[in-house]
């Protein structure tokens, strides 16, 4: 059963109640005791033989009253409320700590401690470049849903982020944890990588909650990896696998336009007469 201890407000001014001084104060105690199976509290011998599993969970709420009203008297109410569960020691759960490493430390984990590389990037980035002999389980997958909201969002995405940066329109992979569990045991040593470091941290947290104990995560992702650090497979370097869309040719376009403008400026400065004749040949709109 549950025993609740509460102090009703309204004590005379300056009175303060405590458990140790409760017997010295004027109060009325209403006590309802539920005793089962005809147990007598007066017999010490029977009290010793009472089952140890009969325990009480005490929830005590004490408040101090100061100069609220002289007309009211303080009441300390002690009551019981229903059966309660036996108190049991709660075993503390020790959770694994995710280890964050840089590229050089990650290479050392693979070479000396036998860590397996888990790449959680989307399919397009993985195909551009990935670490040799790594395992690919994307934490986000391409969203091909055809509901109205998804179609609108996908169209907006493809005309901006997808066009300029080559980013896929994705959604969370609901089968991510199960896919990893099908390939690795909870005590496996996993090095999780992505392109920028955000997805790998999220994936590491999910796997840690799922019971995986030896998890390391590469900070800043593969974009911080220097060429030649890992044996890679793909058409580009690991640090450039996240680049796609118009940004990949923006530098070249800017270089060409800049060269043309500089040449035109120099031509006008050194050959003004010829430049004027050329401009006169341009039809007026």
Measured in whole angstroms, the distance separating CA 153 from the mean position of its chain's CA atoms is 25
Residue 247 is predicted with a pLDDT of: 59
57-61 and 2-8: which strand pairing? parallel
CA distance linking residue 85 with residue 150, whole number of Å: 49
Per annotation, catalytic residue among 65, 84, 134, 194: 194
Closest CA to 6 of 34, 27, 36: 27
> Which residues of the chain fall below pLDDT 70?
1-96, 161-166, 245-253, 284-285
Residue 37 is predicted with a pLDDT of: 44
Show the 3-state SS of 61-74.
Answer: ECCCCCCCCCCCCC
Residue 146 is predicted with a pLDDT of: 87
What domains can be seen in the chain, in order of their start residue? 2-81 (no CATH), 99-245 (3.40.250.10)
CA atoms within 13 A on the CB side of 193: 34
Question: What is the tens place of the pLDDT at every residue in 94-147?
Answer: 556 789 999 999 999 999 999 999 999 999 899 999 999 999 999 999 888 889
pTM greater than 0.75 (yes/no): no
Buried b (16+ CB within 10 A) or exposed e, 122-134: bebbbebbbbeeb
CA distance linking residue 260 with residue 265, whole number of Å: 9
Residue 204 is predicted with a pLDDT of: 94
Residue 4 is predicted with a pLDDT of: 43
Per the prediction, the chain carries an average pLDDT of: 72
Is 194 an annotated catalytic residue? yes
In 3-state terms, what secondary structure has residue 222?
helix
């Amino acid at each position: 059963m549950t025993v609740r201890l509460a102090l009703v407000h309204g004590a005379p001014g300056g009175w303060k109640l405590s458990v140790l001084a409760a017997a010295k104060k004027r109060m009325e105690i209403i006590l309802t005791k539920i005793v089962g199976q005809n147990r007598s509290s007066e017999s010490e011998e029977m009290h010793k033989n009472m089952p140890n599993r009969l325990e009480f969970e005490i929830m005590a709420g004490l408040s101090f009253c100061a100069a609220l009203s002289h007309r009211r008297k303080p009441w300390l109410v002690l009551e019981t409320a229903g059966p309660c569960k036996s108190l049991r020691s709660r075993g503390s759960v020790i959770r694994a700590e995710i280890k964050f490493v840089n590229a050089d430390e990650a290479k050392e984990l693979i070479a000396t401690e036998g860590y397996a590389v888990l790449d959680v990037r989307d399919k397009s980035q993985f195909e551009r470049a990935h670490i040799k002999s790594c395992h690919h389980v994307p934490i986000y997958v391409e969203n091909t849903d055809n509901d109205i909201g998804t179609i609108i969002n996908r169209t907006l995405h493809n005309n901006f982020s997808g066009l300029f940066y080559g980013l896929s329109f994705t959604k969370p992979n609901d089968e991510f944890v199960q896919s990893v569990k099908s390939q690795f045991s909870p005590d496996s040593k996993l090095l999780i990588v992505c392109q920028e470091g955000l997805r790998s941290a999220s994936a590491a947290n999910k796997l840690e909650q799922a019971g995986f104990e030896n998890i390391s995560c590469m900070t800043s992702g593969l974009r911080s990896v220097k060429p030649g650090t890992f044996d890679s497979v793909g058409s580009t370097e690991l640090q450039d696998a996240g680049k796609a869309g118009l940004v990949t040719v923006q530098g070249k376009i800017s270089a060409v336009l800049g060269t043309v403008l500089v040449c035109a400026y120099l031509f006008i400065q050194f050959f003004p007469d010829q430049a004027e004749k050329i401009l006169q040949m341009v039809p007026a709109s």
